[in-house]
Structure 1
Amino acid sequence: MPKLFHDEYRRAVPPDDASKRILVSLRNVLTPVASVHRYFGSEVALYFAWMNHFTLWLLAPAGVGVAAYCRMNFFGYTVDDDPYLPFHSLFVVFWSACFLRSWDQRCSELSWHWNVHGIELLTGLRPEEYRPGYHGELRQSRATGQPERYYPYPNRILAYIVSVVVTSMMLVVAFCVMICSLNLQGYMDAPATSFEKFFYIPRLARLAHPGAIFDPNQTEYFGIMSMGPVVLHVTAIMHMNKFYRSVAQWLTELENHELVAAHQSSLIAKRFVFEAFDCYIALFYVGFVQQDIRKLRNELICLYGVDSIRRVFVESVLPLVLDRISRYRLSRRAAELKRLYF
């Protein structure tokens, strides 16, 4: 134990009182960040401060989880038929966003208190940078009297409208792809409400009937054919996200932001909205519209299982195979040149 921690511990608990020492040890769940800062410096202290902050914030989802568990036991629900269980997941999503904002404030507070220099390296903040591609009319600045570039705000509003319209059209395409995927998987075979009848496509749903090509209960070839709709959906998601990246870049350039930070924020917002909708709309539909936990579980396993296999293949297996092929071709070429000249 470092001498600093040892001295503070001895001052807090007398050496002849073992019971108090045990009690203080049980209470001191959180790391003494001030002592860590004095002994190890700000970088290590910020890490332990984050751990303390995260530990305290975990009390909220833990409490909600215990309440959801008690409610299930009280009303006789299980994880498969509790209609309110998906709202716990939704709470965790909002909790994570609030936690990040809270930690940003706590990090700034500690950095100011510790007089940390170069805090932009720790918090991700950067000085304002002007975007090289920014264009506009030259006018005289009211503050400095020097010429400056000015882009009319109504023009940017028009660009925002174009961004909303184009993104909405692509979101509609993503929603249609999701509906086709759910029909191919047999999730829309028996519409429960009049709302779902609009999304029922008989020609696609028949492909998931018993004995059909995408029958989810088939056993031939280990049921690989039943994964066909999920594979197609994951492939469509990958290509739509890739296509929208270029579209989002073009839309953000059209908005003509002056600062790099504003440009990046707008680009990230577009990509987040589209990719989150594209990736999770099927799970949201099954979980909150159909409220079928079994279907939601199957959809989660299928989507993330197939996507994990795709990532491993694209990011690991395929580069390895291409590298081996390239080396083989180079070795053959070197052997041919060696025979030719030597």
Structure 2
Amino acid sequence: MAHGALLVAYALRAALSIAIIAITGGSPPSGNHSAPGPRALADSAPRPHQAPVYNWSAETQGIVLSSFFYGYGLTQALGGYGAGLLGGKLVLGSGLLLSSALTLLVPRAAELGVGVLVGLQGVIFPAQYTLWAKWAPPLERCSQLPIHLPPPALSSAASYPLRAPLSAGGVGCAWCLCWFLFVYEDPASHPWISAGEREYIVSSLAHQGSSHGRSLPLGAMAKSLPVWAIAIACFCTDWLFYMLLTSMPTFMSNVLHFDLRENGLLSSLPYIGNGLGHILAGLLADFLLARRVLGTAAVRKLFSALGMLLPSVFLVVVPYIGSSSTAAVVLLTLALTIISMTGAGININHIDIAPR
């Protein structure tokens, strides 16, 4: 259920990345700052149902594509605090439902103006971590990552067919109904879990603290070097990943000159590699921890370093390969496959240092 929620969330998040190609006619943006309005289609191929095309400049398209992250960033802390206070199930389900409903309004919002296109999903990831801390035994967290909480994972690839705003929003609303019916906050409240499994999970998590109440140790958090290390590393990694998630379809269309159908298929290949990489990296990390080959700190540092350095090298090479679409897809796939190693590093390290 959590993986399905992330699939829907990524579909909602990237709906505009695909839709903006159709909204702007699939051609490179003009350099002017024209107001959004239908433009002539004399040099364009016939479009289904005569959908309107908007002459948005490069700057306007950038504002539209980045608008999601404004609301996303502002609601992160609110989502984490609310999930600790009210429970991850309620906060995640409510955030996903609201985001799905807003996505349904995207086509109408495009007619009303660029400023209406803003997203709200920041509560989803903190709520996922709150649930994960109550359900995942410590020695299984890395291998559960690609199933329960796949940051890029296969959900990005699988969500490409849903990336039209109307389909993504409709599926999201339907998924939220299933979420509220079948998901439970913790093993103790689940009516169908076996007694053995409940005892195994609860006993393995007995050493960690409970979720916070109304107060938070904000001062201690602000002075914690591990917190800052994770925050900076996550910023760098997420910058790379979300830049690709948001801009890759436009890059495929305007630079590599794929048509929209090829764009969706080829853009999914790096995320397939990313999902498989998350599975292998998680299994390897848990194996190293279970066999005591490396300690927790060493595993987190090694996987984070490799997962950040190698993809950066591959992306630096991309501008120098000319217009070779094959080489570009190969490098992007390698970059997003290897960056999945951070899933067993910084992306799980939050729970290591602060179980609450």
Shorter-chain TM range is under 0.3
Structure number with higher relative contact order (C-alpha < 8 Å, ≥ 6 residues apart): 2
TM-score of the superposed pair, with normalisation by structure 1 = 0.25
TM-score of the superposed pair, with normalisation by structure 2 = 0.24
